[in-house]
Chain A
Amino acid sequence: MTESDLVRHALEILPAGTPAPDFALNATPDQVLRLSELRGRPVILVFYPADWSPVCGDQVALYNEILPEFREYGAAILGISVDGVWCHAAFTRDRKLHFPLLSDFEPKGAVARLYGAYREGEGISERALFVLDADGIIRWSFLSPIGVNPGADGILNALESLDGRSAPVKAESFRADAAEMRP
């Protein structure tokens, strides 16, 4: 991808402040997950190009390791690619993943398109991240060059900066409150 391509794509993915478009996708061959069912907690959407990337520290493996940290924020994480449900099932089993991979398979890439994260011509989704707040509003989005695993620090920073409702209560905020209440 050239730099101008990158800029073009970056302009296209849904930005912070946008209500996240609802969708329903298969999480397993016989289970459908609807985004709006997760209202009330932060949600991390991870669009990625394809299952079975050939490195062991790949993006989904990394997030799988960091699940406990995401859970501290009460956040749900969903992986989304155009791979079929049986492919996701095999990949999940092989990599011992503990979060759902959704199949954006038919019509192909429809959800990725809704979020501006579809690569026309190649027929795969971008490597794009979205962090939604408890009301389903996108609070942070990030498009990574397709070959670069974006890591997890951006997601954690975004979760941290969500408002206090779902973030872990920090000791400092208690102290600040106490200070304000003094006459």
Chain B
Amino acid sequence: MSDGQLTPPVSTRDHAAGSGDAPVTLVEYGDYECPYCGMAHLIVKEAQRELGSELRFVFRNFPLAEAHPHARAAAQSAEAAATQGRFWEMHDMLFEHQDALEAEDLLAYAKSLGLDMQKFARDLADATITKRVRDDFGSGVRSAVNGTPTFFMNGVRHDGSWANKAAFINSLREAARQAAETSA
């Protein structure tokens, strides 16, 4: 167990920021209401700035809905925004406002992003969206996600710290270096 391999691997189904040619792909399983994910969000942003085109970042939903009553609706609103091509804007908005994730807040964020509100409201409760969030969660369980946030670097679970920014970025660089060596 816990061989810590990402299942399924990253595909076109995923929300990805950065190029598929990047030598390192970082996958996060996260929960918009989890305070640790909120801290990790800033570290990921920093890593994206530092590594630039070397890094592709993928986010999958892992809402711990029993502990975080707003987490699932928040995940669904990011997925609903994705159907209008605005996943990352909503993703950032949610992490920047973790303490305000009531239904009216989610609608206000959608509005401020200029989304088609009728479509957004419809999509929020749509079975495809709720299934997508459930599928993400299931893939996390199968990938030995053991809490939030859990990171994978090039498909391997990162058991080291993410809270230490320098160490985290070094691990990413190391993964990139190893990938470059294997492909060389």
Contact = CB atoms under 8 A, between A and B. Distances in A.
Contacts of A154: 1-2
Contacts of B25: none
Interface string B1-15: 110000000000000
Given A56-B147, A59-B146, A152 B64 contact: no
Interface of A: 55-59, 61-62, 64-66, 69, 95-98, 142, 144, 148-154, 156-157
Interface string B21-50: 000000000010011100000000000000
B2 A96 contact: no
Contact of B64 (A65, A97, A98, A153): A65
Contacts of A59: 146
Contacts of A95: 66-67
B2 A150 contact: yes
Contacts of A56: 31, 34-36, 64, 67-68, 147-148
Interface of B: 1-2, 31, 34-36, 62, 64-68, 137-138, 141-150, 159
User: Per DSSP, are chain B's interface residues mostly helix, strand or loop, or mixed?
Assistant: loop
Contacts, number: 75
Nearest to B137: A65
A65 B36 CA distance: 18
Contacts of A148: 146, 159
B146 A57 contact: yes
Contacts of A58: 147
